[in-house]
């Protein structure tokens, strides 16, 4: 029997499969399709201090091997998430979750993280400093080591749970951002978020998205995400969660060989709502065929053998 268990910041996950923030809602809708307790954990939809409607539509644009989204952090606000969404999820999901927090100032990040970290259901706080779809926040904090470090320090000072910083790929040197977060006290890292992109409607002669640009996700970004996870895992001594274009068990193994401790499945959930279940079912057999007894034994193999 192969062992699919992984450990991240004191949490034991039965497997490394975690639906990514923004692609799984607050989990309850998927619980109507299958037993979501098979998941390693769930990364909740990004949460801000106050309720947000998000950007005006159109907010989604299709493209080959991926999609663009410009949702704009639509969410009911931290009070509704802690008082309603998390308790409702607890009725169908028994494990700890990853709470994703967003902000438009360092103070807002800290206030949101402090409040949501009080929940016993929350095992990790994931701090989104990488959203390309809002102005005055999000990615603005994730494009310089100094700003990323400041947010990390502020959240660490108030959080009752381990803090993972979610990093943007829209930078020159993601490892430098990662090291700044580590130095500031981050317990782990999540990467990558979406790549900035756009589409143009040639009949209307204007951008497809009302926000003009959005975040590119899906299979097209997997090789980029894999390299960034590889480069970051080599540069830091804290756990990394790999995200970006993963849709099959073989890509999970690639991510772990690149140095990831766990992975998050994003856009694939929107294409196939059963994809996480399928990957969890396929992973043990693939490990056995590949001569892999446990995931710890292959973590970072892509660079440790160089």
- Which residues participate in catalysis according to the annotation? 131
Q: How many CB atoms lie within 10 A of CB 126?
A: 28
**What is the SS3 assignment for 31?**
helix
Strands (E), the chain: 6-8, 11-13, 17-19, 60-63, 66-69, 97-101, 122-128, 163-166, 188-191, 195-197, 200-201, 206-207, 214-217, 240-243, 262-265
- Cα–Cα distances (Å) from 227 to 27, 58, 89, 242, in that order, read 29, 31, 34, 10
Asked if residue 101 lies in contact with residue 82, where contact means CB atoms within 8 angstroms, the answer is: no
Residues, the chain, total?
306
User: Is the link from the previous residue into 192 a cis peptide, with omega within 30 of 0?
Assistant: yes
User: What are 240's strand-pairing partners?
Assistant: 189
DSSP H or E segment with residue 55: none
Q: Label residue 202 exposed, middle or buried (CB < 10 Å: 0-12, 13-18, 19+).
A: exposed
């Amino acid at each position: 029997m192969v062992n699919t268990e992984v450990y991240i910041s004191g949490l034991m996950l039965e497997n490394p499969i975690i639906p990514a923030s923004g692609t799984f809602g607050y989990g309850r809708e998927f619980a109507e399709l299958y037993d979501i307790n098979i998941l390693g954990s769930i990364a909740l939809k990004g949460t801000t201090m106050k309720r947000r409607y998000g950007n005006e539509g159109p907010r989604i644009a299709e493209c080959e091997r991926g999609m663009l989204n410009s949702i704009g952090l639509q969410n009911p606000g931290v009070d509704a998430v802690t008082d309603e969404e998390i308790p409702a999820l607890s009725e169908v999901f028994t494990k700890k979750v990853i709470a994703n927090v967003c902000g438009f100032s360092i103070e807002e990040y800290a206030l949101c993280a402090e409040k949501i970290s009080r929940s016993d259901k929350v095992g990790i706080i994931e701090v989104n400093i990488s959203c390309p779809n809002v102005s005055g926040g999000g990615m603005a904090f994730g494009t310089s080591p100094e700003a990323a470090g400041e947010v990390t320090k502020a959240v660490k000072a108030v959080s009752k749970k381990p803090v993972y910083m979610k990093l943007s790929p829209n930078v020159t040197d993601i490892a430098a951002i990662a090291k700044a977060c580590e130095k500031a006290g981050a317990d782990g890292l999540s990467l990558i978020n979406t790549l900035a992109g756009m589409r143009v409607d040639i009949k209307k002669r204007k951008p497809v998205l009302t926000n003009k640009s959005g975040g590119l996700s899906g299979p097209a970004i997997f090789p980029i995400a894999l390299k960034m996870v590889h480069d970051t895992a080599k540069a830091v001594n804290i756990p990394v969660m790999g995200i970006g274009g993963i849709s099959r068990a073989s890509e999970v193994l690639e991510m772990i060989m690149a140095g990831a401790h766990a992975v998050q499945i994003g856009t694939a959930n929107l294409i196939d709502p059963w994809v996480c279940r399928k990957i969890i079912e396929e992973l043990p057999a693939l490990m056995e065929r590949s001569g892999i007894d446990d995931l710890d034994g292959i973590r970072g193999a892509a660079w440790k053998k160089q």
